[in-house]
Amino acid sequence: MDDLGAARFLWDAWSSGVTIDALPDGLRPRDAVEGMAVQARLEELAGPAFGWKIGATTAAGQAAVGVDRAFPGRMFTRFRHAEGKIIPTDSSMAVVEPEFAFRLGTDLDPDVEHTLDAVLDAVDTMFLALEMPDSRFSDFTSVGYACLLADSALCGRFVGGCEVPGWRDLDLAAQPVILRLDGVEFARGTGAEVMGDPRLALHWLALELPRLGRRLRAGEVVTTGTATKPAPVTPGAHVFADFGDLGTIEGRFGHVS
């Protein structure tokens, strides 16, 4: 399969904002390894990456995109935003998700089957985040797992918020999260929505990436999946995610020239 050709096809759609029905024959990955190979070649086109996202971490999320398991995707620096800046509403999916995110302080050896504690020992900090998934496919529910991996696991825009001190000793599974849209409560959830606990999601990624020829490195960010159902956003929308005692994060959406 032509990894670079597939990546170029996807990047052309991404950079132009035009969705596609499918990858052409010869550019369509046949399995997860080929899908991940295309994702890796996207970095040659999209520019530097700052970390990873985990998509479809719940049964409802998997059903919504037509898969039966979670998937990892590369996040690119050009789509990372500071809290307080206007977030472009150029996503075909047009939703936002409140998430628990981690930053690695040390590399993880891909040849080692790391325990949960070993993965947590490698973390530098945890912080709150918003993720705006996106897809280059007009019907992302029908293309299948390998193509969604090639599409960087529905990677879109990302906003990082405040750090959470003492995160390792907190009950993140029980942590309530309230998502408000334009001042009105839209959804509630907890950290248990994220594979039972956001730390378990991080551990899953640390084990899954080496199976796909990738690894976690120092300095990389991992955002672990939404803690509530996603909220729709349009230009002018204001999203406020309340993580209780852990803090809050907000995003304002609009057209950016």
Identify the structural domains of the chain with CATH numbers, from first to last. 3-254 (3.90.850.10)
Residue 125 or residue 257, greater confidence: 125
Task: Report percent pLDDT > 90 for the chain.
Answer: 94
Query: What pLDDT digit, counting tens, does each position of 77-112 carry?
Result: 999 999 999 999 988 899 999 999 999 999 999 999
pLDDT at 59 over 90: no
Q: d(Cα 212, Cα 32) in Å, to the nearest integer?
A: 7
Query: What pLDDT digit, counting tens, does each position of 171-200 carry?
Result: 999 999 999 999 999 999 999 999 999 999
pLDDT at 256 over 80: no
pLDDT tier at 161, thresholds 50, 70, 90: very high
Look up residue 132 and give its amino acid: M
Beta-carbon contacts of residue 74 (< 8 Å; ≥ 6 apart)? 39, 40, 42, 43, 49, 51, 52, 152, 153, 155
Task: Report percent pLDDT > 70 for the chain.
Answer: 99
Q: d(Cα 181, Cα 96) in Å, to the nearest integer?
A: 10
Q: Which two tokens stand for residue 238?
A: 């204001």
In the chain, what is the straight-line distance between the N-terminal and C-terminal CA atoms, in Å?
Answer: 37
pLDDT mean over 219-228: 98
In the 8-state DSSP scheme, what is residue 201?
Answer: H
Give backbone dihedrals phi and psi of 150, rounded to 5 degrees, phi first: -60, -35
Of 63-72, 93-102, 114-123, give the lowest mean pLDDT range.
63-72
pLDDT mean over 230-247: 97
What is the Cα gyration radius of the chain?
17
Among all chains, which residue has been given the structure tokens 């998700």?
97
Length of the chain: 257
**pLDDT for residue 58:** 87
**pLDDT for residue 91:** 85
C-alpha distances out from residue 102 to 125, 148, 174, 232, Å: 6, 23, 18, 25
pLDDT tier at 257, thresholds 50, 70, 90: low
